Amino acid sequence: MIPYGLALLLVALSGIPGLFLQKGGGRIAAILQGLGALAGLTASLHLLCGGRPWTLSLPATPLGSAGLLHFDAIAAFFLIPVLLVPACGSLFGVGYWRDRDENASRLHLLYGLLTAFLALLVAASHAFTFLLGWEGMAMAAFFLVITEDRNPETRRAGWIYLVSTHTGTLCLLGAFALVSAATGSFAFSAFPAGLAGTGRLTAAFVLFLLGFGFKMGAFPLHFWLPPAHAAAPSHVSAFMSGVLIKMGVLGLVRFLAWVPDPPLWWGGVLVILGALSGILGVAFALGQHSLKRLLAYHSIENIGIILLGIGIGSIGKSTGHLEIMVLGYGGGLLHVLNHSLFKGLLFLAAGSVVHATGTQNLEELGGLARSMPRTSAGFLTGAWAICGLPPLNGFISEWLIYLAAFRGLILTRSPWPILTLTALAIIGALALACFCKAFGIVFLGEPRSEHATHAHESPRTMLVPMGILGGACILIGLFSFLGLPGLDRLVADLAGQQVLPGIGELAHLPALSVLAIPLLGLACLLWRWARAMPSARQVPTWDCGYAAATPRMQYTASSLADGLVSGMRIVLLPKVRWRRILAIFPSPRRFHSHLPDPVLDRVASPGLDLLSRFLILFRILQRGYLAVYLLYVMLTLIFLLVWMVV
């Protein structure tokens, strides 16, 4: 309990020195965040490796004698990314967002407070504590998103996020009220058998799914996520994508842990939601021109993968097949940690690109591997991991979900394993195509603008955090079997059963590690061989009049993805603008493609515009005269009196 409390205190206070110091506030915040991460990781690893859980109770309050905080395996597991990613982001911010930059002190303060609220949230064991951390998280994240509040697009993104997150909070209030009505308590505890099939718990499941779905960014509740991630500073985007959206997964996992006998259709709904989020998230990422928006849509994709794992695990729990449950829950939860690592790495690498070039527009980048070799290596590591390729960590978690789906295909006759396998295969193929586009357009070829031509490598304070996250991706991919005891304990807490098959026996992770180490060694040898090759031939060959490559000869972000986007145009509905010219000597033409968000741009924004135009008609009621308003009050009172009499 002491290391957890120390971690909570250090991260909460990390931004306060920056309020009083003109210089050094960012460095002090990074040091305190790092110390808090060490203390919190110590508490998490101790519990996952066999330590005893603890509970903090305040029996003298009106909330009753139930514990307000309970640090179990689920809390310990989620605390790892909650503290590790912000610590790396805080160090990254020392070089990325210097103390003399605009709103620096506010940024450091809110960054630490957001970390503290998340650390409080993971251990909450009462609805009051949970909602306290949830609302604190929402407000701190809102002010972090609008850090650059002079930009209208940034303010718009912040307000979209605020409305979305409070809509989700309203759903959670209704869900907790239903659970309390069914159980008689707001404390987090297991439900009796048979309660999950009642109407109240069914309604609570739907409301929890909506409330946590808004925070996760699951489709179609994702519309706040791309603009918010693109508008926020890059280390804030890494925090939000790698950690904050996982709090929706935490809430869903907590709820499922209370239910000993979830209905089968619950798992089916999660699988459908995961398939939609995963496939549409990566599909819309393909058509993006902004590097950070592209990564934001991949967050939706990976939330889909997590939901596929949790959904297939819930199906195993409903049908009594322990192997399916263990592999599905294990893969989904491990992907929570893995995604926080490689997505944090990718957003930090994107921030390094923005810091060096001043733009995140893919059409203005290119050739950065020569001027930014370390950043390009970090981005390539994250891209390799997010595509689920061996031997990095993304492959391990997806491997477990694949195995769960194959076991479900053999042991059950439900269609959900088939849907899971199909969705995972499509997601993997499209993710590989998308990151070939992202890495190739940004780091290969020739610079497409002056921004890219004069790019420079980032300082060490920005490179070290990328190295930490990249190293963690490699270590988990190579030595995942070392964390099996903690993962087994985590799955046991979620399943509500202590005697379960071991994940290592079902997934053969030690054997995978034996195969992965030589594969990584071969990749390193090929990298060194490629770098050692001569850059130019000694004897020129006949080039048929070809002089040199120019940026206009290269693929652009639009043209490289055009085949896939056009093939999915029935679903994506891209907007393409170009002018056909019929002439002997035509003038230059421009081609532009845009992929509007299906919810925000096609439904929400037009609908709200139409509503606002309709409400303008009622401005006649607002004349600004006190006598008129008193007349309204009198008419309302008369109406109420008549209504009561009748």
Residue-wise pLDDT for 379-398, tens only, equals 999 999 999 988 889 999 99
pLDDT of residue 293: 93
pLDDT of residue 553: 76
pLDDT of residue 248: 94
Please count the other Cβ atoms lying within 10 Å of the Cβ belonging to residue 464: 15
Residues of the chain with pLDDT > 70, as a percent, come to 91
Q: What DSSP character marks residue 404?
A: H
592, β-bridge pairs = 577
589: pLDDT strictly greater than 70: no
540: pLDDT strictly greater than 60: no
pTM, two decimal places: 0.91
Asked if 72 and 192 touch (Cβ cutoff 8 Å), the reply is no
| Coil, helix or strand at residue 187 | strand
pLDDT of residue 598: 86
169: pLDDT strictly greater than 60: yes
pLDDT of residue 584: 65
Q: How far apart are CA 251 and CA 246, in angstroms?
A: 9
What pLDDT, in 10s, does the model give residues 174-231? 999 999 988 888 888 888 888 888 889 999 999 999 999 999 999 999 999 999 999 9
Mean pLDDT across 608-636: 83
Residue 139: half-sphere exposure toward Cβ, Cα within 13 Å: 9
pLDDT of residue 100: 60
Q: How far apart are CA 492 and CA 178, in angstroms?
A: 26
Most distant CA atoms of the chain, gap in Å: 103
What pLDDT, in 10s, does the model give residues 315-371? 999 998 999 999 999 999 999 999 999 999 999 999 999 999 989 888 888 889 889
pLDDT of residue 580: 58
Mean pLDDT across 121-128: 91
pLDDT of residue 546: 62
